[in-house]
Structure 1
Amino acid sequence: MTHAPAQLDTITQSLTSLIPGGVRANMQIVVTEQQPQGPSHTWTGTVDGLALRLSTALTDPGAAAGSPLARAEDAKRRRDLAGEIGALMDGGAQLEAAPWYPARPGDIVHITYGAVGPYPAYGETYVIEAADAEPFLSMRLLHHSPNLPVEILATTGCYAVDEDTDPLMEPWFEAGAEHITLVRDGAVIPHQAPGR
């Protein structure tokens, strides 16, 4: 896969320009989701880390080409509303048809990411845990590949959540099934349901 350094530079400059005269090395990006009837979720990272994540999603066909979100974005670019909705609905149905669905406490989840330009392929391992209140679950980062560049380190743990009814929905929709491995009770559960 070829890397698009101009694209990465454009994204980095666009994010940095959000604060005129700002110093990129001193900036942090905070994304917060406040649910109307539930807890908030927050992700914090660097400009370089977010730029790399965006560039990867745009240039690495292996990272998300088969993901429901990538298919929906492709349909959106084509101005195909039915295709966009269909991709998201199909993604939800595929998630619910996964042989390990729903996730449960004790599940180990490994997510892989393809190499992008000078950045190596790597992986992250999470554990699903019971949250304080049912039916919520938490997904906590256990480990990631060692010796990662600082730009990638800034994005590790991005799928960790404290309380969620379906903690694997976001990685499923963004990364796609082919990049997720789930281990339950010591056994790897296949990506596809039998007969698919």
Structure 2
Amino acid sequence: MRRDPRLETITQVLRLPRVRRPFVGRELREPVLRLEGGRNEWSASVPQVAEAIYTALYGRPDTTPQPSPVQQADDAKRRRDIAGEIGALMSGHAALTSAPWYPARPGDLVHVHYEAAVAVFGETYLVAPGFADGFLSMQLLCHTLPADTEFLAGMVGCFAVDDDPDPLAGLWTEAGPQRLTIVRDGRPVHIGGAR
């Protein structure tokens, strides 16, 4: 039987001792893998093991912040690349519509996190039924804009919409999926800032 080098790499990763550390936050809800016996005893969450295997096979995961689809389209427009501009918008739309939790439903909570040069803040929106049949609205619930940044106040709530067939489309393409957290029935279905 011929050995695959990828399988050997995974086996080596699993044989390396892992540092035991307390599981906090979301790791408490994650399944924990334990390897016991001999000197290679370790415990780790599934994401920790997955990252170790990925790193061994392909190198460190890319954690560079990705620009939003609109920013990618603007970059292509500056380069006078019409195909790149259209492609950025189309791939952004395809990423939204192919998500397993899509489309938005009434009751969904959508949080957007801004990292502006002037202020770091967030907004939380509620998806609600619209007035027209099959349409939805997105209402601003709250924001964390500091009081000393009044000049940004006009930006707060800019993604609120009434009677829209796809209320997430503007927020997804303009702010970017990496800045969004979407919660459905008390469970996060999209965590854009997670590695």
Q: How does 1:20-169 map to 2 (within 5 A)?
A: 66-116=67-117, 119-145=118-144, 147-148=146-147, 149-169=149-169
Matched to 2:78, the amino acid is: R
Cα shift at 1:146: 5.0
Matched to 1:185, the amino acid is: D
C-alpha contact 1:99 1:191 (8 A) present in aligned 2: no
Secondary structure of the residue aligned to 1:129 is strand
Q: Normalising to structure 1: TM-score of the pair?
A: 0.62
Identity of aligned residues (%): 51
Higher relative CO (Cα under 8 Å, sequence separation at least 6) belongs to 1
C-alpha contact 2:180 2:190 (8 A) present in aligned 1: no
C-alpha contact 1:109 1:127 (8 A) present in aligned 2: yes
- Deviating above 2 A after TM superposition, structure 1's stretches of 4 or more consecutive aligned residues are none
Against the structure 1 CA distance between its residues 81 and 187, is the aligned structure 2 distance closer, same or farther, given a 3 Å change threshold?
Answer: same
C-alpha contact 1:111 1:125 (8 A) present in aligned 2: yes
Aligned residues: 128
Distance 1:171 1:190 in 2: 14
C-alpha contact 1:105 1:128 (8 A) present in aligned 2: yes
1:182 is aligned to 182
Matched to 1:88, the amino acid is: L
Distance 2:119 2:86 in 1: 33
Query: RMSD value over aligned CA atoms?
Result: 1.7
The structure having more radius of gyration, on CA atoms, is 2
Q: Which runs of 5+ in 1 are unaligned?
A: 1-60
Q: Which runs of 5+ in 2 are unaligned?
A: 1-63
C-alpha contact 1:98 1:191 (8 A) present in aligned 2: no
